[in-house]
Structures are given as C-alpha cells and as structure tokens.
Amino acid sequence: MDRIIETNSSEMFIEEREKSQGTIPKRINTDSENVEKGLAKLVLTLIELLRKLMERQAMRRIEADSLSDGEIERIGDTFMKLENKMAELKEIFGLSDEDLNLNLGPLGDLM
C-alpha cells in the first residue's frame, strides 16, 4: 500500500509540531546570568510542580469528605499564601507561568 498522509488541516499540525520542537534549546547558554536564571527556573518549576500536586491531593480529600470545614479553611489559607509567595518569586526572577511549564515532548506538558 502506498504511503498515505491525510489531514483536514496541515497548518494546525505543523503548528503543533513547531510548538513541541521549540522547547528544546539548540544551544545551552553558559554565561553566569543565564546560569542563575536557568537554575531559578529549574528550582521554581519543581516547587510549582510540588505545590500543584499538594493542591490536587487536598482537592481529592475534600471531595472524599475526609476533611472538616475548619481543616478546609486552613488549607485554603496555606495554599493561598504559598501561591502568593510563588508569584513574588516568579517576579523576582522575571519568570512567567509558561516559563515554568516544561514541555516534555511525547509526555506532554508537565503541568
């Protein structure tokens, strides 16, 4: 059978492909400012990931009715403060939400 490549929108798939390829840097920046920012980005990405995992875990427990009203409010308070702190840190290092969301190629977006 001859090769078939069929689509109803080649532009959309070209765009998708370019999006995933754009996240792999072609060169590594090694000057000191970029190394610092790169390190901050890595650390904050990991913190963000953990924070989101904890939030999700809390949501599951709320859904399963395993937390009291008081506990729910306290969690809300803690997470709110965490989120605000993260926003501060992102601003200090000049990082956006997109900067901290890694595209893992075949595994999709990190968050």
Q: Which of 9, 30, 66, 96 binds other proteins (CB under 8 A)?
A: 9
Please state the closest distance from residue 45 (CB atom) to other proteins, in A: 17
Q: What's the rounded Cα separation, in Å, for the pair 60 and 57?
A: 5
The residue whose two tokens read 């977006």 is 109
65 SS3 class: coil
Nearest by Cα to 43 from 109, 105, 97, 100: 100
- Taking the least distance from each CB to other proteins, the nearer of 14 and 46 is 14
Residue 99: CA count within 13 A, CB half-sphere: 16
Q: Hey, what are 29's tokens? A: 């920046």
Per-residue x/- track, 52-91, other proteins (CB under 8 A):
---xx--x--xx-----x--xxxxxxxxx--x--------
Q: What's the rounded Cα separation, in Å, for the pair 95 and 89?
A: 8
Q: Is 7 in the site for other proteins (CB under 8 A)?
A: yes
Instruction: Count interface residues toward other proteins (CB under 8 A).
Output: 34
* Site of interaction with other proteins (CB under 8 A): 1, 3-10, 12-13, 16, 19, 55-56, 59, 62-63, 69, 72-80, 83, 103, 106-109
